[in-house]
């Protein structure tokens, strides 16, 4: 059965990040096919092409916000088993064993994330509106699905909710703050709840999958220690080498969601390319 990673990337900046992600997957995983989904006018630079095994185009970008188009992954993926990964991530260690655990499910989302120290995050700062509705606090940054009826039904319902996001959001989040710009965390959370799949596609007791999430409010810092609520790079040293990724003195493992685009330097990409080329010639 074909398996691989899928990433949406619209625009030059996201294509560049997806390229780094693909390099990191090739450098750390044995199961490492990568599919990139582009906007209708996007073109992959020629020197990026060799790391992508499949290139597809998003079918309909009529919806205003790119994240509201992500239900299309069902129609676009070339794989029978797919792990969706956001473009602003890199893989730091091998997680091939996840596939064998995840295939026990038809569809499964990351249910908890870690801070840079490797601790499970406890902050609900970005999920306060979920608390009041009992929606599953799933993370769209990384999720798995297989080719099956249940996943098909899920993405069909997500398409409907995406098209009518404001109506559904006002219904679910009435009386509390919610993002006016749709994100897939909200869209897929509502979808799982409405299809009565919230206990099947989400479980906080599962150790995998996970990823390190670098939003500042998830790092368990006191406000006085981190007055900048956006730029975690102000506070933590980053060192990327052939030995791996160090952040704030802590060795990273698994997928790393850097979120701040300034993290991905040309020097870092050059190191990834060097590792990739060495692996191809050995």
CATH of the domain at 261: 3.90.550
**Range scoring the smallest mean pLDDT among 127-131, 165-169, 261-265:** 127-131
pLDDT of residue 225: 65
Domain that holds residue 222: 3-280
Q: Cα separation of 108 and 192, whole Å? A: 10
pLDDT of residue 60: 67
Q: Cα separation of 45 and 234, whole Å? A: 31
Q: Cα separation of 12 and 111, whole Å? A: 30
Mean per-residue pLDDT for 157-179?
A: 90
pLDDT of residue 62: 56
Residue located via tokens 């790393």: 256
pLDDT per position as a tens digit, 87-141: 999 999 999 999 999 999 999 999 999 999 999 988 777 777 787 778 888 999 9
pLDDT of residue 230: 82
Tell me how crowded residue 275 is: count the other CB atoms within 10 A of its CB.
Answer: 17
Task: Report the number of distinct structural domains present in the chain.
Answer: 1
Question: What tokens does 67 get?
Answer: 């994240």
Evaluate whether 240 touches 271 at the Cβ level (below 8 Å): yes
Residue located via tokens 């596609």: 201
**Range scoring the smallest mean pLDDT among 47-51, 188-192, 203-207, 244-248:** 203-207
pLDDT per position as a tens digit, 12-63: 999 999 999 999 999 999 999 999 999 988 999 999 999 999 999 998 655 5
On the question of pLDDT at 78 being above 60, the answer is yes
Evaluate whether 141 touches 89 at the Cβ level (below 8 Å): yes
Q: Cα separation of 55 and 47, whole Å? A: 14
pLDDT of residue 279: 85
Tell me if residue 193 falls in helix, strand or coil.
helix
Q: What is the pTM of this model?
A: 0.94
pLDDT band at 67 (very low <50, low <70, confident <90, very high): low
Q: Which residues contact 50 (CB under 8 A, 6 or more apart)?
A: none
pLDDT of residue 2: 95
pLDDT of residue 54: 97
pLDDT of residue 52: 98
Burial class (CB in 10 A: 0-12, 13-18, 19+), 132: middle
Mean per-residue pLDDT for 168-183?
A: 86
Q: Which residues contact 278 (CB under 8 A, 6 or more apart)?
A: none
């Amino acid at each position: 059965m074909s398996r691989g990673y899928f990433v949406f990337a619209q625009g030059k900046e996201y294509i560049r990040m997806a390229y780094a992600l693909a390099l990191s997957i090739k450098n750390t995983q044995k199961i490492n096919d990568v599919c990139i989904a582009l906007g209708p006018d996007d073109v992959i630079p020629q020197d990026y092409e060799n790391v992508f095994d499949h290139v597809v185009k998003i079918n309909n970008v009529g919806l205003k916000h790119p994240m509201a188009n992500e239900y299309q992954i069902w129609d676009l993926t070339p794989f029978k088993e797919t792990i969706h990964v956001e473009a602003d991530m890199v893989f730091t260690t091998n997680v091939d064993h996840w596939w064998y655990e995840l295939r026990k499910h038809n569809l499964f989302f990351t249910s908890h994330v870690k801070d840079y120290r490797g601790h499970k995050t406890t902050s609900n700062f970005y999920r306060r509106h979920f608390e009041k509705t009992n929606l599953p606090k799933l993370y769209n940054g990384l999720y798995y699905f297989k080719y099956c009826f249940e996943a098909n039904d899920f993405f069909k319902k997500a398409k409907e909710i995406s098209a009518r996001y404001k109506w559904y959001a006002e219904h679910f989040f009435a009386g509390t703050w919610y993002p006016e710009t749709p994100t897939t965390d909200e869209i897929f959370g509502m979808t799982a709840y409405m299809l009565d799949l919230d206990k099947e596609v989400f479980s906080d007791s599962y150790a995998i999958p996970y990823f390190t999430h670098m939003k500042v409010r998830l790092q368990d810092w006191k406000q006085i220690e981190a007055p900048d609520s956006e730029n975690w790079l102000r506070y933590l040293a980053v060192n990327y080498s052939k030995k791996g990724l160090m952040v704030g003195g802590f060795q990273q493992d698994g997928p790393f969601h850097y979120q701040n685009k300034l993290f991905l330097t040309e020097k870092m990409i050059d190191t990834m390319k060097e590792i990739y080329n060495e692996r191809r010639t050995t």
